Chain A
Amino acid sequence: MKPNNKVHNYKDEYYPPMPTRTTKFWRSCFIYQLYKFFVLNYKIMKMVVKGHS
């Protein structure tokens, strides 16, 4: 069954937080994401190395 696209409230999908246009912009902003790429890689690497002896 195709969901009714007009009325949204009271459906599960109505309740979670949704990204704003600004959030979506930063998520795909090349320069900002390049910075994030290095930050996230560094954070992940630190955790990976710590986990086993």
Chain B
Amino acid sequence: MAKVVVLGAGVSGHTAVAFLKKKLGKKHEVVMISPNSYYQWVPSNIWVGIGQMTVDQVRFKLDKVYKKWSVIYKQAKAISINPEGNSEISKGFVTVEYVVGDKQGQQEKVDYDYLVNATGPKLNFEATPGLGPKGHTVSVCAYDHAAHAWEELQKSLALMEQGKHQTFLIGTGHAMATCQGAAFEYALNVAFEVKKRKLEHLADIIWITNEYELGDFGMGGAFVKRGGYVTPTKVFAESILAEYGIRWIKRAGVNKIEKGIAHFETLAGEYKTQEFDFAMLIPGFAGAGIKAFGKDGNDITEKLFKPNGFMTVDADYTPKDFEDWSAKDWPETYQNPEYKNIYAAGIAFAPPHSMSKPMKTANGTPMFPAPPRTGMPSGVIGKVIAQNIANFIKNGATEHKHKASMSRMAAACIVSAGYGIRHGKAATMTVSPIVPDWDKYPEWGRDINATVGEVGLAGHWIKLLLHYMFLHKAKGYPFWWLLPE
């Protein structure tokens, strides 16, 4: 009997566990270690943050699903990995700490034959003093953050109802933050809600971003073929912001928040401030901070993880100039090169480099978006890792049959721009591949015939459909495996 341990019940880890159990059946053991008792469909947190969905509409309890699937579930967080075991345990193991119940605070060593690290991002609010729900801004990165954002937003809306002017600052809260797409959606939804209440004359909504140009979204921007032109996403992003009455500050790295004041540095090296009444700023991301130890207890964290805490996989990490980056640098099996039975899925893997051009401010502060890993690639990576591991265990395969590189995978981004079955709106954008491949597509970096860029009600319906479809899948309801990632 083989034992596969998965760390993190997010999009990637939950998908991995689902396919592992489906493929391996009762003969083998699948263990999930995750500190949260709920699964959350993170993209819909945007709608929680504007009061259009409740927290319970975007989450469900994991224990029932894992019981149904016969997955062993430990509500704990991984602290360290001993890939070679130690003097007492001969195989690799993870040290975990329980976070609830009688066992809270207790540690346990969980051994494995295969380990999948899908611990996602650590929301690094600490990197920007004053940022986050414990500071002076709100967040929509988790359902509880989004619920808090809605509480705060209601206060601003109430003040506007009384005739008071409000400044909304929405965007990135660190010079290296990613996930611009989510913040962008939130800005559009806030503008939509303000307009719905006919309060736009009392609102100044500002988009603040570390992008060199709007529409970079951490993917180095993209091009869309429409209306007889090939148009950069910069134009799309600026157009929709202008339409929604949102002004913008770009090339800005927020470095400190005080009550009602955001301090930021510009790419030109100026230090500026922007006042706000309500701010939702996405923090920088880091890895989960898991340590690694060798057989004799020596610290080997650098063998498994990069300094930012993300896990080393089969990528080409050789430092290269921006012009020399290649689509081939990106991983396709997500296997750790040192310990072949360890994999990293979703945001937990270390990308070889960013997709956006690395830049520094005149003062030397790095300022560019880190590469995003959205829900779709995260799910696909989780599935592919599960398929390969199951193939090794069941069929004794030694080669990775399934591969999924972000330089071949396409992605669809549905940017919500207002909620409502009749009056909702979303921008639907597709890119293929996610990572530009300038060798294969010398003109635009991506397949220009596979791009879509449309704004309309249909996009909102698709986003809503995806919400129900992915929750159906995650709950393991009938025929869940037929639904794509």
- Residues of chain A at the chain B interface (Cβ within 8 Å): 1-3, 5, 11-19, 26-28, 30, 33-34, 36-37, 40-41, 43-45, 47-53
Q: A51 contacts B408, CB within 8 Å?
A: yes
Minimum Cβ distance to chain B for residue A12 (Å): 6
Residues A17 and B404 in contact in the complex (CB < 8 Å), given A2-B165, A48-B376: no
Residues of B close to A41: CB separation below 8 A = 462, 465
Bound Cα distance from A14 to B458, whole angstroms: 28
- Given known A-B contacts A1-B204, A27-B425, A43-B452, A52 and B409 have beta carbons under 8 A apart: yes
Find out whether the CB atom of A53 lies under 8 angstroms from the CB atom of B402. yes
Q: How far is A22 from B358 in the complex, measured between Cα atoms in Å? A: 40
Residues of A with C-beta under 8 A to B433: 51
CA distance A47 to B461 in the complex (A): 19
Question: For residues 443 through 460 of chain B, which have their beta carbon under 8 Å from a beta carbon of chain A?
Answer: 450, 452, 454-459
| Cβ–Cβ contact B402 & A37, under 8 A | no
The answer to whether B96 has its CB under 8 Å from any CB of chain A is no
Q: How far is the CA of A51 from the CA of B412 in the complex (A)?
A: 12
Query: Would B456 and A27 count as touching, CB distance under 8 A?
Result: yes
B462: which of A12, A26, A27, A37 is its contact (CB, 8 Å)?
A37
Residue of A18, A37, A40 near B239 (CB, 8 A) is A18
**From DSSP, what is the main secondary structure of chain A's interface residues?**
helix
Do A17 and B239 touch (CB < 8 A)? yes
Using a Cβ–Cβ cut-off of 8 Å, how many residues does chain B contribute to the interface with A? 43
Q: Is B335 an interface residue (CB 8 A)?
A: no
Check if B323 is an interface residue, CB within 8 A of chain A. Answer: no
| B456 in contact with A51 (CB, 8 Å) | no
Let me know if B17 is at the binding interface, CB within 8 A.
no
Contact status B408-A52, CB under 8 Å: yes
Residues of B within 8 A of A50 (CB): 410, 432
- CB contacts (< 8 Å) of B408 on chain A: these are 51-52
Contacts of A34 in B (CB 8 A): 458
- Chain A nearest CB, measured from B146 CB (Å): 25
Q: Which residues of A sit under 8 angstroms from B402, Cβ to Cβ?
A: 52-53
CB distance from B333 to the nearest CB of A (A): 11
Counting CB contacts under 8 A, is B423 at the interface?
yes
Query: Known: A12-B248, A16-B235, A18-B243. Contact between A48 and B425, CB under 8 A?
Result: no
Neighbouring B residues of A19 by C-beta, 8 Å: 239, 243, 455
A52 near B403 (CB under 8 angstroms)? yes
A17 to B404, CA, bound (A): 37
